[in-house]
Amino acid sequence: MREWIAADLRGIFIIWYRDVLRFWRNRSRLLSSLGQPVLFLLVFGTGLSTSLRGAAGSLGGAPGYVYFLYPGVVAMAVLFTGTFSAMSTVWDREFGFLKEVLVAPVSRRGVAIGKALGGSTQAVLQGCIVLLLGPLIGVGLSPLLVVQMIALMFVLGFAMTSLGIAVASRVQTLEGFGVVVNLFTMPLFFLSGALFPLVGIPAWLAVLTRLDPATYGVDPLRRVVLQAIGVPPAAVAALGVEVLGHRLDTAEEVILLLAFALAMLALAAHWFERLE
């Protein structure tokens, strides 16, 4: 039993290290993926800050919509990087590396966890780069805020990467993976509340936002940012996610995200078992 656990841990570490190293060596990918967050934050956010006073007003006197948008843009970087990092699973299958991993003395569960940890680490690295844009819009990056953001980004990245791995375990080609992932990543982002408050919206839209796992990653990120810039706690709480009349706190949202991630990993491990 102990030997199996040790073998799994070694396998998880090697898979994680390989994916992170491959991501880190691709510096052009790191820089090019900044284009969309910068566009949303500095152009879209600043441009709409003067016209969407309602969003700013709902923050209890926060200076502008761009402050509301900032954590959503950080979450966007984490969401897209985490989900698309699972493409390496399809790549490894096409070039035979995945078969070598699957015959190694490591469980299918260990393979899925290693890939998820690798993807979530990539997502956090990408999110940290976007996080550094905070001072440009007046968000001070205190050590406490940075630690809280990194922890929450990891949880969101872990959930989104796990979802991507579950999809990748069923898709046979890189092209197919791209089509499927593009089909649901944009709805996940737009329904997460990254761009607009989840209060006062139509009932049908509220249901969709509550079914979106990314919603429970965006809200905690926004809470810590808004609290850091001095938004009153009551106003921050009013913007939170309400499910069946209960307004979720950060711990409950993190638990929901982790439960979703574990469910996706279990599904991916099951489908890995069926690979030839």
* pLDDT tens readout for residues 12-39: 888 888 888 877 777 666 666 666 777 7
Q: Which segments of 193-249 are extended strands (E)?
A: 242-243, 246-247
- Coil, strand or helix at 133: coil
* Amino acid residing at 92: D
- Coil, strand or helix at 66: helix
Tens digit of each residue's pLDDT (9 = 90 or more) over 135-194 = 888 888 889 999 999 999 999 999 999 998 888 888 877 777 878 888 888 899 999 888
Report the predicted TM-score, pTM, of the whole model to 2 decimal places. Answer: 0.86
DSSP state of 169: T
